[in-house]
Structure 1
Amino acid sequence: MKLADDHQDMPVIQRRKSVWELLKDPVFLQFLAIIKTYKWYYAGVIGAQIALTGVALLFAETSRRLFDQVPNIPDRNLLIILSAFSVTTVLQLAFTFLYNWLNSALNESVVFEMRRKILNHLQRLPLSFHESHHSSNSFNIMYSELEIAKNFIVFDVQRLIALPVSFLFVGIYLMSVHPILGAIAISIGPLQLLSNLVHKSKFKQAAEMQSRATRGVFFTIGETLHGVREIKSNQMEPIIDERMADIQTKGVAYNVLLTKLSTIRGIAKEIPGRVGYIAGVGVGAYMMASGSIGPGGLVAFITLLDKVAEPFNVLVDTINNLQRSISGARRLFDVMDMEEENVKDGIALPDGSPSIRYEGVAFRYAEESNAIRGISFEVPAGTSIALVGPSGSGKSTVVKLLHRFYEPQEGTIRLDGIPLKEYSIASLRERMALVSQDIYIFDGTVAENIAAGRPEAAYEDIERAAKLAQAYDFIAALPKGFDSAIGERGIKLSHGQKQRLSIARAILRNASILVMDEPTSALDVDTESSFQKDLGQWASSCTKIIIAHRLSTIRDADYILFIDKGEIIESGTMNQLIEKNGRFRRYWEKQGAFPAATR
């Protein structure tokens, strides 16, 4: 089992975006618009940061006055200075608490807002996106890549606003203490910006590889947890462990390299500060010896040196963060740039079961041969049609086009004579119910799963749907009946029980169009027989499309299409197809039925 890159990478743009292009990206600007929603949090956090700078200036000035007057400081002045220190301490604690509190609230609020935006966008993307990209990529977007954007929007934005103000105030203050010391302090920050050029290309390359290793971890974990039953039954644990070991080896190497480069860049960033400190202390000591400044001036310089360099440090860190995660940010923005399904435009599907007509419909998935070609058939309102044929023949594609999960490349699908694309997707899917062979059960109660498509349904309606789906007896036997929790993906239920819940879910929707894709594949013969009988009650007025390999499922279908390799090979009623003695007849005979068994 080789980890393929295809499963790890989201679609990316052809030309790599620079840092500044990313900052101007429309999606990034949408994220920045979140600031408007939480503007008062931002104002509070930035205000607290500026207030802390003011407290630092007060502390520095108080220290300068103290050291300029010792050892012969008058008692009254000492009392005032000690009082100022006390006030400074109280203010620092108060503003630190305020900053941490507001910053935490801002961080959590923005994270949830961004995560909600991304999730809403992902679920509104066409089904083609989700079928062609591994789910671990979406999880990676929701967590790892989200952290990239969040760190900039929450922390870097506020600091980029507050710290220049702090730099201005501190710089003016130090220049007032002594112009030479002020000039030394102010020059440190710009020199630190140059550290960003150290190993720039190597740093970006290592960051890209480290990000790839992280995506590999997400992919492997997702695959393992979703397929743990198959892994255990096929004794694949050593293979998974070997895969994780390979990813770990590469991941550790990339992280070590990234740490090495980060350390080198960090040292390069520290050098101007250390040199500036030594120069400032040396010059200050010389001026103090010559009487140009007092001891307090040198103390103020040492106290505020980090404050005046901090805005440039933040700028360097911000650029490094963007460089380190530029590939992740690009994937996030590319996915968020993808066009969502337009589910609202179009006319509403009227009440009543519609007729369905396919006219020369052809479709192929990207870079594949035609899934279906030249498909034409009609289903009169309130009747049923069965699609039969070998696996991969195109049956499921036919109904995917009806749901408008995909659009046909040729031909037209009509409902009541009107082209399908003229109906709004929302009204179309609202009137359809699907019983799929790929059953998905949500982590919740039985009642919540049955009512998934109609959460406002009354308890009596849920119970009725369960009875019609032949699910009531096993539900009643559960510890809490309809209120029983059934675990992630319905792990506490058998496959047949999950299929019956899926059928109950479709019944409850009370839809005009019913699509059943292998609806009884996991049911025993008796349960299937009862289901077929009840189907005539609750779905008698629906227009029905049934996909089946078990031909007993389609005994009562009004019309049958035998599809192979994307084309209709045979069509007619069951009796007509059996009498024809063709492909359908051979399917029928292989399942142990006899022509006399037809209705």
Structure 2
Amino acid sequence: MTTATTAAPPAQADASGSTSPLRDLWQHHRRFRPRVVAAVAATTVNTAADVAPELLLGVAVDVVVRGSDSFAATFFGVEGRFGQLLIIALLNVVVWVVESATDYAASILWRGLAQSVEHDLRVETYANVQDLDVSWHEGSAPGRVLSVVSDDVNQLERFLDTGARVILHTFWTVVFVGAVFAATSWTMTLLAFLPVPVIVIGSIAFQRRLEPLYAAVRARAGDVSATIATNLGGLTTIKAFTAEKREVERVREVSDGYRDANLRAIRWSSAFVPLIRMAILAGFTSTLLLGGWLTINGRLEVGLYTVLVFMTQRLLWPLTDVGQTLDLYQRAMASTRRIFALLRERGEQQPGTGVLAPPVRGGVELRGVRFGYADGPDVLRGLDLVVPAGQTHAVVGTTGAGKSSLLRLVLRFSDPREGQVLLDGTDVRELGWDALRGAIGYVSQDVFLFHGTVRDNLAYGRVDATDEQVREAARLAEADGFISALPQGYDTVVGERGQTLSGGQRQRIALARAILRDPALLVLDEATSAVDTETEAAIQRSLAAVTASRTALVVAHRLSTVRDADRIWVLSEGRVAEAGSHDELVAAGGIYAGLWAVQIGEAAGVVGAAR
């Protein structure tokens, strides 16, 4: 007996992690740390070079006003004013060259870092989502997952591209300008820096207020993506039921929610910039008046006064970008929380490490299997079923009997609550994914074809197949004829999900795709339920040919498809009600005989109506 391993419901993608988003990024991307250090160093030197021209301007003014008594004359030992100005001009050229070079380096480093992190996170989140259980995906809206993998990752990239550099540049500006002020006048320093605490405290307050607002924005963005993705996937159903206006209103409602959440965040973030401007005005006015008064009274040199006035603007004006940068930061952190919440998701099902002993025969056995979905009731109840290697067995029954659930267990899309599922005598939970699913060729009721050529779709499970092997598989599935008649034959591009092909054509391509893999076990789930009589006959001929040398497990609604099976299992309410050959079951007069009579009767009724 084994413990239930049905997957838990997926956590919300925007759930907050236990650690800060920045710490998550720092810990997760260790290999980018040297690049971060280099980017920080380049930004630091760039900021210093950016501040230096104001200092040189003050020195130049000092030269013009004081001549041979200027700071430059004393420091460089040059008495002539033009000579002093020439040295200052040369220094200015050096500063501008350094500033330009480090600006280029910082831009390359930060933007390259943003692109690399974006790339890594997109691939990692997709890989993690792909590894999660089928049951996780069935309980999660694809649009919300897409919103995280695409939109949230892009949001983080935008912050790393510009926001991080702006924050660092502002920080070093405050440090360097503060050092100049402190070396000149403590009184002027206090006045110039008076707005800074107001800005810092305001930033913290706004950050705390904006954090939940932008978490709500990202959640509403997920709702929009989920709704649009679902509607595009069901567009034919929408059109068939003339529900276009209703669905437009549904999109309008979720878009209204996204817009309103954004507007609430925008109202708060926009209020931050006027607050900063008023604080800057106070600091700049104080420096202008007090510095001017000190200069007029001979207590401050004209050159230093010029430097301090320009430095005040250099100190305070970049802070006007703090509001916009803070807005970008909060959006990015809300997105980062969603990204790492998705990265922390783990499936309940983990692959084993075992392999199947060659030659793989494909024998299947279910022993005392009990299974249900999530916290729901049992769908399969103590099921025992054996499919000997090399035989073709069918599973039939009314809707809800548990037929497709049985196949999920064989493919290990789910695990049983109790009992075992064995492949060639080995519990499937002990096998690695390649060992288990590599031995199985699967044809589902809802055939999925990728956007690409017919050949690409046929060779999806065996990418190294030769053209002749591809054609042989298509011939066995009786698909070669219609494929060759397509405009570009095997190189014809089919639309997403194969929409340019008929249902029967898609079904035969799916069968050929499974055949090409040369599996030990062929699993078909209602492979003829949505095809016409001609296609059904073609698929039956194909199955007769390809199952002669391999094991086959077939779930069917049309009993004519499986009448030649070695054994037919009839499920009812999750249990085996009957088992035997077609003739034996018809003669027994039980559930199968009743189903057969209904289908034969329907067929007779159709024929009679046609006459």
TM-score calculated relative to the size of structure 1: 0.88
Q: Does 1:224 align with 2:231?
A: yes
Task: Say which is worse superposed, 58-67 or 428-437, in terms of deviation.
Answer: 58-67
Residue 253 of structure 1 aligns with an amino acid whose one-letter code is: D
* Shift in CA distance, 544/209, structure 1 to aligned 2, threshold 3 Å: same
* Shift in CA distance, 318/249, structure 1 to aligned 2, threshold 3 Å: closer
Residue 41 of structure 2 aligns with an amino acid whose one-letter code is: G
- Tell me which residue corresponds to 1:284: 291
Aligned-partner SS, 2:102: helix
Task: Say which is worse superposed, 322-331 or 61-70, in terms of deviation.
Answer: 322-331
Tell me by how many angstroms 1:464 deviates: 0.7
Please tell me whether Structure 1 or Structure 2 has the larger radius of gyration of its CA atoms.
Answer: 2
Q: Does 1:123 align with 2:130?
A: yes
Choose from 147, 150, 153 the match for 1:146. 153
Tell me by how many angstroms 1:471 deviates: 1.1
Contact 1:127 1:405 in 2 (8 A): yes
Tell me by how many angstroms 1:206 deviates: 3.4
List per-residue Cα deviations over 1:28-62 (Å, max 9, x = no partner).
Answer: 455333524xx34x344333312321222321111
Distance 1:29 1:365 in 2: 39
- Tell me which residue corresponds to 2:607: none
- Tell me which residue corresponds to 1:367: 375
- Tell me which residue corresponds to 1:293: 300
Q: Does 1:512 align with 2:500?
A: no
Contact 1:110 1:154 in 2 (8 A): no
Tell me by how many angstroms 1:455 deviates: 0.7
Distance 1:261 1:10 in 2: 32
List per-residue Cα deviations over 1:84-138 (Å, max 9, x = no partner).
Answer: 4444444444433333334333322221121111111111111111111111011
Tell me by how many angstroms 1:487 deviates: 1.8
Contact 1:34 1:110 in 2 (8 A): no
Task: Say which is worse superposed, 445-454 or 86-95, in terms of deviation.
Answer: 86-95
* Shift in CA distance, 179/211, structure 1 to aligned 2, threshold 3 Å: same
Q: Does 1:447 align with 2:455?
A: yes
Contact 1:490 1:498 in 2 (8 A): yes
Q: Does 1:554 align with 2:547?
A: no
Tell me by how many angstroms 1:308 deviates: 4.6
Residue 11 of structure 1 aligns with an amino acid whose one-letter code is: A
Tell me by how many angstroms 1:580 deviates: 1.4
* Shift in CA distance, 457/155, structure 1 to aligned 2, threshold 3 Å: same
- Tell me which residue corresponds to 1:260: 267
List per-residue Cα deviations over 1:226-285 (Å, max 9, x = no partner).
Answer: 122222222111012112222333333332222111122333344433322222222222
Identity within the alignment, %: 28
Aligned-partner SS, 1:373: strand
Task: Say which is worse superposed, 224-233 or 313-322, in terms of deviation.
Answer: 313-322
Contact 1:193 1:313 in 2 (8 A): no
Distance 2:333 2:206 in 1: 16
Contact 1:382 1:541 in 2 (8 A): yes
Q: Does 1:580 align with 2:577?
A: no
Choose from 169, 178, 182 the match for 2:176. 169
Residue 180 of structure 1 aligns with an amino acid whose one-letter code is: T
Contact 1:470 1:530 in 2 (8 A): yes
Residue 58 of structure 1 aligns with an amino acid whose one-letter code is: A
Choose from 246, 256, 277 the match for 2:253. 246
Aligned-partner SS, 2:382: strand
Contact 1:196 1:320 in 2 (8 A): no
List per-residue Cα deviations over 1:369-408 (Å, max 9, x = no partner).
Answer: 2121111111111112111122232211111111111111
Contact 2:156 2:332 in 1 (8 A): no
Residue 333 of structure 1 aligns with an amino acid whose one-letter code is: F
Contact 1:400 1:406 in 2 (8 A): yes
Tell me by how many angstroms 1:349 deviates: 1.5
Tell me by how many angstroms 1:549 deviates: 0.5
- Tell me which residue corresponds to 1:489: 497
Residue 62 of structure 2 aligns with an amino acid whose one-letter code is: D
Residue 274 of structure 2 aligns with an amino acid whose one-letter code is: I
Contact 2:396 2:403 in 1 (8 A): yes
Aligned-partner SS, 1:591: helix
Choose from 345, 352, 355 the match for 2:360. 352
- Tell me which residue corresponds to 1:304: 311
Aligned-partner SS, 1:482: helix
- Tell me which residue corresponds to 1:531: 539
Task: Say which is worse superposed, 259-268 or 549-558, in terms of deviation.
Answer: 259-268
Choose from 334, 343, 351 the match for 1:336. 343
Distance 1:262 1:82 in 2: 42
List per-residue Cα deviations over 1:155-209 (Å, max 9, x = no partner).
Answer: 5556666665554333323322333333444454333121135466654443344
- Tell me which residue corresponds to 1:136: 143
Contact 1:189 1:310 in 2 (8 A): no
- Tell me which residue corresponds to 2:52: 58
Distance 1:142 1:591 in 2: 47
Contact 2:51 2:314 in 1 (8 A): no
Aligned-partner SS, 2:445: coil
1:205-220 to structure 2, matched below 5 A, reads 205-220=212-227
Contact 2:14 2:215 in 1 (8 A): no
Tell me by how many angstroms 1:449 deviates: 0.5
Tell me by how many angstroms 1:485 deviates: 1.0
Distance 1:24 1:80 in 2: 47
* Shift in CA distance, 306/395, structure 1 to aligned 2, threshold 3 Å: farther
Q: Does 1:69 align with 2:66?
A: no
Residue 32 of structure 2 aligns with an amino acid whose one-letter code is: I
Contact 1:192 1:313 in 2 (8 A): no
- Tell me which residue corresponds to 2:28: 31
Residue 108 of structure 1 aligns with an amino acid whose one-letter code is: Q
Contact 1:443 1:490 in 2 (8 A): yes
Residue 67 of structure 1 aligns with an amino acid whose one-letter code is: V
Contact 2:522 2:552 in 1 (8 A): yes
* Shift in CA distance, 160/204, structure 1 to aligned 2, threshold 3 Å: closer
TM-score calculated relative to the size of structure 2: 0.86
Distance 1:503 1:148 in 2: 42
Q: Does 1:400 align with 2:397?
A: no
**Equivalenced residues, count:** 581
Task: Say which is worse superposed, 62-71 or 150-159, in terms of deviation.
Answer: 150-159
Tell me by how many angstroms 1:293 deviates: 2.2
Aligned-partner SS, 1:376: strand
Tell me by how many angstroms 1:477 deviates: 1.1
Residue 388 of structure 2 aligns with an amino acid whose one-letter code is: P
Distance 1:469 1:243 in 2: 43
- Tell me which residue corresponds to 2:605: none
Choose from 75, 85, 95 the match for 1:78. 85
Distance 1:119 1:201 in 2: 31
* Shift in CA distance, 249/131, structure 1 to aligned 2, threshold 3 Å: closer
Contact 1:48 1:95 in 2 (8 A): yes
* Shift in CA distance, 227/108, structure 1 to aligned 2, threshold 3 Å: same
Distance 1:234 1:161 in 2: 56
Residue 65 of structure 1 aligns with an amino acid whose one-letter code is: V
Task: Say which is worse superposed, 513-522 or 564-573, in terms of deviation.
Answer: 564-573
Distance 1:299 1:56 in 2: 17
Contact 1:208 1:325 in 2 (8 A): no
Residue 260 of structure 1 aligns with an amino acid whose one-letter code is: R
* Shift in CA distance, 157/327, structure 1 to aligned 2, threshold 3 Å: closer
Tell me by how many angstroms 1:141 deviates: 0.8
Distance 1:199 1:58 in 2: 32
Distance 2:55 2:42 in 1: 20
Residue 402 of structure 1 aligns with an amino acid whose one-letter code is: V
